[in-house]
Amino acid sequence: MTIEAVISEVLQRIRPSEEERAFVVELMEELKGLAEETIESSGLDVKPHFVGSLAKDTYLAGDHDVDLFLAFPLETPLEELRKKGLELGKVIAKKLDSYEIAYAEHPYVRAKYRGVSVDLVPCYDVKDWKDVRTAVDRSILHTRWVIENIKGRNDEVRLLKRFLKGIKAYGSEIYIRGFSGYLAEILVIKYGSFLGVLKNADFMLRQKIIDPGNWLKREYELAMKTVKRETGEDRPLIVIDPVDPRRNVAANLSWEKYGRFYFKAHQFLEGPSLSFFFPEEKAGGNYLEELRRKGTHMVTLLFEKPNLVDDVLMPQLERSARGFERALQREGFRVLDWNVGHFRGKAFIMLEVDRLEREKVRIKPGPEFFTERGWDFYRKNERVWLKGKRLYAEKRVKEGIVDVISELLSKNQVALGKTLREHIGGADVLLDYVPEELEKEAYLFLSREKGGLK
């Protein structure tokens, strides 16, 4: 298929129909009416604002999540905003189908209405970046900026979002570290179209700094401070937020996710296909055959999943996996890769290692013999000898990796996610085996098909 044919077919699938648009408009009008009615009866000076992709008309067909922000006056104390904002959100949500309290920088209400997720988020009624006090305040400014600058390129944004979803590089959550929807909108506005963004994958990386708000001329010192900070953090891209010179829109974008976009952009331009947008689900294979083929082993820690949202849980699982990687490598095991996740109330850490046993005896170098530490070393070890002035001893070690992991945990020698230590301490440690529910996950991990480029 030609690029034009692929794009035409993709658009037919991702562009909302007239019926869908009518439903969204009706839904937003109903919610706005409910919010205004509740605000008026509560006597609060609060303005409801729709933000996000529905408000900007960059949403994909079938994706109708509503972000309704409740904007308080700037003079409202933060604690009062949090308290009254949550109370107001709950009163509105009680008129909807169901709701729960969720937590970000401050608590907010996540409701359901007519089959759609509705987030009711308190914020400040900001007019520009100097008014911003909490992380969510900018959303009103973001929505306004995109609406003013998109100039009919809404479908181009839809194409880029669907492409990023298809190549698994979409989502700025800390456990994904991909492209946010707002970043996708900025790139389309900057480069003119979906194809314009793809064709600039190389240039974007070389140029490094994208400044759609022209802050480097308007607020040079602040903008340069952002550039220097983000350069020091080695970000793949620095996109100075067009509504706030202090912020890099691409701050959460990882090199891995940018790299996926970089390769897939080239591949699509060379061989356009619907599969970039709508990939077939990868077929599983036999993870045991994969282990035999590679001559490696897999250690899986399986434990009760703590009651945490993914934004909190996944980074802690990743920190724990890296902790095991470092600790086991100190103990003589080579960790080739790791993988984390959760399923049906269980969390897991998978480690691919070069072996399951290590040598029984290790030579342990000690201090010089005529020091106080030398005497301690001499008393504590059985077989001790001298090489020049320095003492050496044989150290007998437990050879099985399960025993090593157990000892490392008991001595608190693994850096773990702060709320996971107790859960991981009671983990089942599985060698070259996973329960049936994890067989496909294990295969995709060991074969590198999970996150692999080719």
- Alpha-carbon Rg of the chain, whole angstroms? 27
> Is the pLDDT confidence value at 303 over 90?
yes
Q: For the domain made up of 287-358+399-446, give the CATH fold.
A: Alpha-Beta Plaits (3.30.70)
Q: In what order do the strands lie in the sheet with 335-343?
A: 335-343, 346-353, 297-304, 428-431
pLDDT in tens, 343-390: 999 999 999 999 999 877 888 899 998 899 999 999 999 899 999 999
Where b means 16+ CB within 10 Å and e means fewer, 54-70 reads bbbbbbbbeebebbbbb
Q: What is the mean pLDDT of the chain?
A: 93
Q: What token pair was written down for 440?
A: 């496909």
Q: What is the CATH number of domain 12-147?
A: 3.30.460.10
Please, are residues 170 and 178 in contact by the beta-carbon 8 Å criterion?
Answer: yes
Average pLDDT over residues 302-329: 93
Task: Look at the chain and count its residues.
Answer: 454
> Is the pLDDT confidence value at 398 over 80?
no
- Give the model's pLDDT for residue 307: 85
Domain 361-396 = CATH 1.10.3210: no
Q: What token pair was written down for 356?
A: 């399951």
Of residues 450 and 84, more confidence is placed in: 84
Average pLDDT over residues 321-342: 95
Q: How confident is the model at residue 101 (pLDDT cuts 50, 70, 90)?
A: confident
Average pLDDT over residues 12-39: 95
- Give the model's pLDDT for residue 302: 97
Question: Which residues, in sequence order, are bridge partners of residue 109?
Answer: 101, 120
Please, are residues 354 and 333 in contact by the beta-carbon 8 Å criterion?
Answer: yes
The ranges of the chain annotated as CATH 3.30.460.10 are 12-147
Q: End-to-end alpha-carbon separation of the chain, Å?
A: 21
- Give the model's pLDDT for residue 174: 85
Q: What token pair was written down for 329?
A: 């490598």
Average pLDDT over residues 185-212: 94
Of residues 398 and 3, more confidence is placed in: 3
Average pLDDT over residues 60-71: 94
> Is the pLDDT confidence value at 282 over 90?
no
pLDDT in tens, 419-447: 899 999 999 999 999 999 999 999 999 99
Helix/strand/coil for 241: coil
> Is the pLDDT confidence value at 323 over 80?
yes
Average pLDDT over residues 48-54: 95
The ranges of the chain annotated as CATH 1.10.1410.30 are 150-276
Pick among 3.30.200.20, 1.10.357.10, 3.40.50.1860, 1.10.1410.30: CATH of 150-276: 1.10.1410.30
The ranges of the chain annotated as CATH 3.30.70.590 are 287-358+399-446
CB 406: neighbour CB atoms within 10 A? 15
Please state, in angstroms and rounded to a whole number, the distance separating the CA atoms of residues 283 and 277.
Answer: 18
Please state, in angstroms and rounded to a whole number, the distance separating the CA atoms of residues 32 and 35.
Answer: 5
Nearest to 89 by CA among 31, 28, 137: 31
Please state, in angstroms and rounded to a whole number, the distance separating the CA atoms of residues 29 and 249.
Answer: 30
Please state, in angstroms and rounded to a whole number, the distance separating the CA atoms of residues 99 and 120.
Answer: 10
Please state, in angstroms and rounded to a whole number, the distance separating the CA atoms of residues 96 and 292.
Answer: 55
- Give the model's pLDDT for residue 104: 67
Q: What token pair was written down for 81?
A: 């905003």
Of residues 272 and 449, more confidence is placed in: 272
Alpha-carbon distances, residue 400 vs 329, 355, 359, 381 (angstroms): 14, 9, 9, 22
Q: What token pair was written down for 210?
A: 């994208």
pLDDT in tens, 104-146: 667 889 999 999 999 999 999 999 999 999 989 999 999 999 9
> Is the pLDDT confidence value at 451 over 90?
no
